[in-house]
Chain A
Amino acid sequence: GAVVSQHPSRVICKSGTSVKIECRSLDFQATTMFWYRQFPKQSLMLMATSNEGSKATYEQGVEKDKFLINHASLTLSTLTVTSAHPEDSSFYICSAQLASFTDTQYFGPGTRLTVL
């Protein structure tokens, strides 16, 4: 149980284009989903938290207009990197949390974004 999927697993795009990453909880309903960014050989950095049906809460220093998050249902959250640039190249990981705020976060397999 508690499986989270991400799509795509890998994406290469040209500078200036937008990229959408999907995060789905496959066998449970997630009231809260989280988006992280991870640079090579570094820890995870929380970018934003989204609750179904409400606006995402962004961490300090994360550009809201650059990283658009939509949490349309209890099983789906999307992250759109708008007008991507090479510095946005990174490993993006989502996680989903069960109903209770004390529950464990389960992570997706990650999406590797490369912007040329």
Chain B
Amino acid sequence: AQKVTQAQTEISVVEKEDVTLDCVYETRDTTYYLFWYKQPPSGELVFLIRRNSFDEQNEISGRYSWNFQKSTSSFNFTITASQVVDSAVYFCALSEARLFSGGYNKLIFGAGTRLAVHP
């Protein structure tokens, strides 16, 4: 069965600290996609990144970076020099790239990690 585990329920850091959010997934498929979404207090989920299972190259986008390691089934997210505006709940999600009826994919979400960045 597919599963996404975000073991860190809440993380609290002081501004400018680096913080890593862990994500471990389980799937039997060889083709799949991994995502990170941010949910600020306003409630809207903001798409951050999508990675397919064949692309293990790490990615950096400004202060954000992602480390994808198939060997450990992990897709960790690091925020460098955190800021108060980074305070949010971050969700890791997994989808499978195969045809269900109607041709859609289902997202399986982790429980989320609540990040609080203090001034």
Contact = CB atoms under 8 A, between A and B. Distances in A.
Q: Quick one: which of A44, A46, A49 has the most chain B CB within 10 A?
A: A44
Interface stretch (A21-29, A80-88, A102-110): A102-110
Interface string B37-53: 10000111111001000
B23 to A, nearest CB: 13
B74 interface: no
Contacts, number: 64
B111 interface: yes
Interface stretch (B11-19, B58-66, B76-84, B99-107): B99-107
Q: Interface residue tally of chain B, by bracket?
A: 20 to 34
Q: Quick one: which of B91, B99, B104, B114 has the most chain A CB within 10 A?
A: B104
Q: Interface residue tally of chain A, by bracket?
A: 20 to 34
B37 A49 contact: no
Interface of A: 2, 31-32, 34, 41-44, 46, 49, 51, 54, 57, 91, 93, 95, 97, 101-102, 104-110, 112
20 contacts: A32-B103, A32-B104, A42-B111, A43-B91, A44-B45, A46-B106, A46-B107, A49-B104, A49-B106, A51-B102, A57-B101, A93-B43, A101-B105, A102-B97, A104-B35, A104-B47, A107-B37, A107-B47, A109-B42, A110-B44
Interface of B: 33, 35, 37, 42-47, 50, 91, 97, 99-107, 109-112, 114
Q: Ordered nearest first, which 9 A-B pairs have the shortest CB separation?
A: A107-B45, A109-B44, A101-B103, A32-B104, A110-B43, A51-B102, A43-B109, A102-B97, A43-B111
